[in-house]
Amino acid sequence: MAETLVVQQADKNGKYEELLPQIKSLVEGETNRVANLSNVAAALKMTFDFFWVGFYLVESEQLVLGPFQGPIACTRIAKGKGVCGKAWEMNETLVVPNVDEFPGHIACSSDSKSEIVIPIVKNNSVVAVLDVDSNQLNDFDHIDATHLTELCTWLGTVCF
């Protein structure tokens, strides 16, 4: 069955407010985690034209690449390494305006300029992170952090 997203708002906040209920509707009723995370990544990429959107899943004390949209990515990331590993270690959202200025940044692509990483928590443990990259500097703000955190909190309850 084909699914269609309808996002008509021009501003970022409005786009999130239209998109998130549609993502929830798309995911609810489907039990396959890969299918759900794949559709979430696709919906975010389609709506915002982000450079890269994807998930890293915690597996044996590493983050392992999960469903994503965008260019080829790093496959495994150690806890505390790069933006994703640091967000996992700290269990907090990290907004990085310029990845070249982030200590220990892992450059999966030299085209990535800014990044936001949001932990997904289940039973008080980080089980995955949502990683969103932009090819523009300073592309993420409190609007992204607020809405993507809401999305990830919900994903922790329905996908893990």
Q: Is the CB of residue 37 less than 8 Å from the CB of residue 67?
A: yes
- CA 58 to mean position of chain CA atoms: 14
Task: Indicate whether 107 pLDDT > 80.
Answer: no
Domain 12-158 falls under CATH 3.65.10.10 = no
Distance CA(109)–CA(122), nearest Å, equals 30
Please tell me the predicted confidence (pLDDT) of residue 1: 42
Q: CA–CA separation, 71 vs 62, rounded Å?
A: 21
pLDDT of residue 114: 97
Q: What is the pTM of this model?
A: 0.95
Helices and strands (H, E) in the chain, number of each type: 4, 6
Q: What is the DSSP letter of 123?
A: T
Rounded to whole angstroms, what are the CA distances from 69 to 20, 27, 29, 58, 120? 18, 17, 23, 19, 18
pLDDT per residue as tens digits for the range 123-160: 999 999 999 999 999 999 999 999 999 999 999 999 99
Q: And the tokens for 128?
A: 């995955």
Closest among 86, 81, 51 to 68, alpha carbons compared: 51
Model pLDDT, residue 10: 85
The pLDDT value recorded for residue 59 is 97
Where in the chain does DSSP place strands (E)?
A: 52-59, 62-69, 76-78, 94-96, 114-122, 125-134
